[in-house]
Structure 1
Amino acid sequence: MAETLEDLNIMLEDLGNASKRVGLKMNMDKTKIMLNAHVAPAPVNVGNITLEVVDHYVYLGQTIQLGKSNFEKEISRRIQLGWAAFGKLRHIFASEIPQCLKTKVFDQCVLPVMTYGSETWSLTMGLLKRLKVTQRAMERAMLGISLLDRIRNDEIRRRTKSTDIARRIASLKWQWAGHIARRTDGRWSGKVLEWRPRTGRRSVGRPPTRWTDDLVKVAGSRWMRTAQDRSLWRSLGEAYAQQWASLG
């Protein structure tokens, strides 16, 4: 990361030269440039190759994007990957094995794909509703029923007994938040939570949802201090997970 493209260019050149000295080579097809609103776009070259400027890219298995609604693409990607995992196991879900075994396969093989990296998401009702709609569609496919059968969602869940995806995501995020708050090794993950952006005029419109907003609603503005008490944090976590699981 750099504050100017000139600095970034120097850093990349240094990385390329250092790589060559130990027999390594940068993969230019996987090296991309992403800029925020404070930097004017301009070509960035490493050697005689101009790097591609993108507005999003997949890094460590998760779509990275700047600006508002920066998790929309990742949610869409998670849904797509979830259906791909479901499709590979469709022969199991369409078989005559007991429903409890189908649910176990679903919870252990499909839900983890759809919730990967969810600890870092800024949760909103819109995002989680999209995931819940997808899960209900998969549960109907497991049961061999359709929307035309007009079976209520709570009855479908009673039959499948699958883990609610919103509850799973909320639980993962709550556990991760407590883990970060209790760290004492000075790693950057804790420092990022306390970082305040540069001063300036706020953009027009409703401010984007921040990662900590939903945590503050349950644990208060001093949630990092509350997280030091593990038993208290676990008890609050149940209320936190329930508020998201109760969505439509």
Structure 2
Amino acid sequence: MNVSKTKYMVVSKKPQLLSQIQIGHNTLERVDKYKYLGSWLTDAWKSDTDIRVRIEIARQSFMKMKKVLCGRQLSLKLRIRLLQCYIWPVVLYGCEAWTLVEDLRKKIDAFEMWTYRRMLHISWTAKVSNAEVLARLQKKTELVKAIKQRKISYLGHILRHDRYRLLQIIMMGKIAGKRGVGRRKKSWLRNIREWTGIKTVGELFRLAMDKEKFKKLTADLQ
């Protein structure tokens, strides 16, 4: 164990919780976030940091390909396909683990519209609505819908395979004790229940076991 390269993070509802880990005479550094397999995990256990980072990385990737994506040598239809092929995967990396709230959804939609406006050479000072931009492209926003589909497909994949038994236990389990004071935070499963219109977790799990019905449910998402 390399003590100089080892850090630790505490996930707790009490942000001021004090802790200290010592290895011999060395005290390990406590961090509030760290990068794991390309995704950022935080002690608040929210998706804000990871989503913002993915958007900025995708923005940089877009700018590197600006001559191709914004050039008029290629048709708009082909440039849209290149955008979907090279930029969207950068944004959507690890999105199956995200918990979306309204503020984050707006940021994702805003980035998508940012790419479209540049591809259409619409100045930021021009008073062109998002609806008009989408009408010119003859399409709808697709990033948020792709996140919904990937999350729901991932849930079905987990519940139908025995090798994910530990994840199944975690999702189906309940924590003993009373819920703390204050508004309940939006959970990963609550996201899916809202998107599918399924009220109870048990009903969602039962439906996920039927691959064909769950596939149709995913395809019908708005």
Alpha-carbon distance, 1:117 to partner: 0.9
Q: TM-score, normalised by structure 2?
A: 0.85
The answer as to 2:192 corresponding to 1:215 is: yes
Alpha-carbon distance, 1:105 to partner: 1.4
The unaligned stretches of length 5 or more in structure 2 are none
Residue-by-residue CA offset, 1:122-152 (whole Å, 9 max, x unaligned): 2222211111011101110111102432223
User: For residues 131 and 176 of structure 1, what CA distance do their matches in structure 2 show?
Assistant: 20
What residue in structure 2 maps to residue 33 of structure 1?
A: 8
Q: Report if aligned partners of 1:219, 1:236 keep a CA contact under 8 Å in 2.
A: no
Return closer, same or farther for 1:91/1:45 CA change in 2, 3 Å cut-off.
farther
Q: Report if aligned partners of 2:3, 2:28 keep a CA contact under 8 Å in 1.
A: no
The unaligned stretches of length 5 or more in structure 1 are 1-15, 17-25, 243-248
Q: TM-score, normalised by structure 1?
A: 0.77
User: For residues 191 and 157 of structure 2, what CA distance do their matches in structure 1 show?
Assistant: 17
Alpha-carbon distance, 1:162 to partner: 7.2
Return closer, same or farther for 1:48/1:90 CA change in 2, 3 Å cut-off.
farther
Equivalent residues in 2 for 1:78-97, closer than 5 Å = 78-96=54-72, 97=74
**Higher-Rg member (1/2):** 1
User: For residues 74 and 235 of structure 1, what CA distance do their matches in structure 2 show?
Assistant: 29
User: For residues 104 and 130 of structure 1, what CA distance do their matches in structure 2 show?
Assistant: 22
User: For residues 199 and 141 of structure 1, what CA distance do their matches in structure 2 show?
Assistant: 52
User: For residues 43 and 55 of structure 1, what CA distance do their matches in structure 2 show?
Assistant: 14
Q: Which runs of 4+ in 1 moved over 6 A?
A: none
- How many residues are aligned here? 214
User: For residues 132 and 212 of structure 2, what CA distance do their matches in structure 1 show?
Assistant: 34
Q: Report if aligned partners of 2:99, 2:188 keep a CA contact under 8 Å in 1.
A: yes
Equivalent residues in 2 for 1:129-208, closer than 5 Å = 129-160=106-137, 161=139, 164-200=142-178, 202-208=179-185
Return closer, same or farther for 1:84/1:199 CA change in 2, 3 Å cut-off.
same
What residue in structure 2 maps to residue 226 of structure 1?
A: 207
